[in-house]
Structure 1
Amino acid sequence: MKRTNILYLLPLLALSGCALSEELSPPPDGKTVKIVVVKPADIDILPMDVIYRSEKCRDKIFTSTGAVSSRAGYHLLTVPFKSEMGSGTVSNRVALDGGGQCEWKLSNIRFQFKFSDMTKFGAGIKKNIPNDIVFVFDNNSPPRGNGHYEDVYGDIKIKNDYYPLVIYDRIIDHAKTLSIESERMLTYKVHDGRSIFFEPHVYSDKLVKILGPEKIGDNTLSIYPDGTQTIKKKGSYPLDFKKLNEIK
């Protein structure tokens, strides 16, 4: 698989090993899907990862027994969002039909988002882990997760709550990691959708801190924004989203 950074949606692409023309050439009047995201002030919306697949230009693969098989060829693009002036949103369009002799078809879209400023959540934070959302347009498995998704039909609007979490590792590297957490992993199978609107509600003021064990075998301590503390077994970091929702 090749990864290509692009400034525009429809460049020329190459797929090694394909006997046909390797160009992605969407029809000028072809259908598109528009992705619109409401951008919270303290969140960075990262570019979309867009995968097209081709049944005609297939990739050879080896099975566990050493036999040669094949799978649909695919290309991964990086498609940036564009700011919509005066709206507080970012957006871009993605072609459903990739065209060309390989007859590329849109397979899935995935993008991530993360906090833009780690320092507002305390000192010593070394990592900033994003969350993501995935939209599937064919019968192939999503690019992450366990293969399950929610079916959605037509144009869709999605709203979801997110909270900051800082985990302090007190055994190995003594580093703090920031992440943006939600109660569920968002993966959707899109049917006949031409517009997707995503609005993340980010409660930056509801920070949860998790202190990891000081030695192997100890428990972890979770501290909620209202001062409530809970103790969990080592390696277990489930958040109480019901509690977070109730905190004013």
Structure 2
Amino acid sequence: MPRLQQMRSSIATTVLALLFLSGCQLARNSTLSPKPEAGTIQVTIKVPEELVARDMQVIYRSTKCTTTYRSMLDWEKRTRDNYAGLHLQPVRRPGTDLYEATLAVNGGGACRWRLSNAIFGVSYRDPSKFGSDVKLGAGGGLIVMFDESASAHGGPNFKASISAEGVASVKQNYYPWLHERFLGGDRKSISLTTNADIFIRFRAPNARAVHFEPIFHPQFLVRSIGPKVKRKGEGTVFFYPDGSHSTESRTEPNFKKLEAMRQAAEARL
């Protein structure tokens, strides 16, 4: 086959694959009709004063309705389960710092959608307190996988405490991290850093409730400045709350160092 014809064939196949995927994406979100009477999972988030509960993204999976696509590796046809999502805003329990949301296990519809995972968490209420040009960064997120599938952000990286009653609990320390970067465009952001990835991810297939309690330590702010040029030996400079600083190849603050500083400060009280 001539090279030009091969190129045209490859392009056509790629477009076909995209049409398969985009067509499914356009059709599937309207098919959700959650049925709470078939069972629910109660999510509770204890939100510290300076933070706010994020909108929840709830993902349902269907093994009945599937998508056909062509693999980018060998151009062979593959079939995968379909996914559909909806957004929920956790509601504050009056007079408390607890925010709640109820997830229907059965997503309803002809595709027989079933709850797969939920993404939620906390973020800064007002990033502008660190400067008018400061934007919200990453961190403070949680992903609970209720079936055997991995989330779009990967599989489990954390082990939650699950009680005999089916309550999955996560209690985690977070520190504010103000970062200024230059490579790829100047940007200042305020994030929540801990000893996990951007998202804490765990599997809880038998959970009937999920409790998330982020323990926030706003007085232990760590600042960092990224390199201005990309070359060997350049790294990010971290300024820790005890006055120390160091240039490191890591991309986020040293959580163990922050924990040690906080514990030492608390021991002096």
Does TM-score exceed 0.5, indicating one fold? yes
One of 238, 241, 255 as aligned partner of 1:241: 255
Structure 2 residue 214 is the aligned partner of structure 1 residue 203: no
Deviations, residues 16-69 of structure 1 (Å, cap 9, x unaligned)? 289xxx743444521100100001111121111111111111122222322322
Name 1:16's counterpart in structure 2. Answer: 27
One of 31, 40, 47 as aligned partner of 2:39: 31
Name 1:52's counterpart in structure 2. Answer: 60
Name 1:94's counterpart in structure 2. Answer: 103
Amino acid at match of 2:148: N
**Contact 1:43–1:115 under 8 Å retained in 2:** yes
Name 1:134's counterpart in structure 2. Answer: 143
**Contact 1:38–1:198 under 8 Å retained in 2:** yes
Amino acid at match of 1:37: I
Q: Go from structure 1 to structure 2 and tell me whether the alpha carbon gap of 1:69 and 1:216 turns closer, same or farther (over 3 Å shift).
A: closer
Percent of aligned pairs sharing the same letter? 27
**Contact 1:211–1:221 under 8 Å retained in 2:** yes
* Greater alpha carbon shift after TM alignment, 174-183 vs 85-94: 174-183
One of 171, 176, 184 as aligned partner of 2:188: 176
Report how many aligned residue pairs link the two structures: 230
Equivalent residue of 1:16, what SS? helix
**Contact 1:56–1:103 under 8 Å retained in 2:** yes
Q: Go from structure 1 to structure 2 and tell me whether the alpha carbon gap of 1:144 and 1:171 turns closer, same or farther (over 3 Å shift).
A: closer
Name 1:69's counterpart in structure 2. Answer: 78
Q: CA RMSD in A?
A: 2.5
Aligned-partner Cα distance in 2 for 1:204–1:40 = 10
Name 2:89's counterpart in structure 1. Answer: 80
Aligned-partner Cα distance in 1 for 2:82–2:76 = 18
Larger helix fraction of residues: 2
* Greater alpha carbon shift after TM alignment, 92-101 vs 65-74: 65-74
What TM-score comes out, normalization by structure 1 length?
A: 0.82
Amino acid at match of 1:220: T
Larger strand fraction of residues: 1
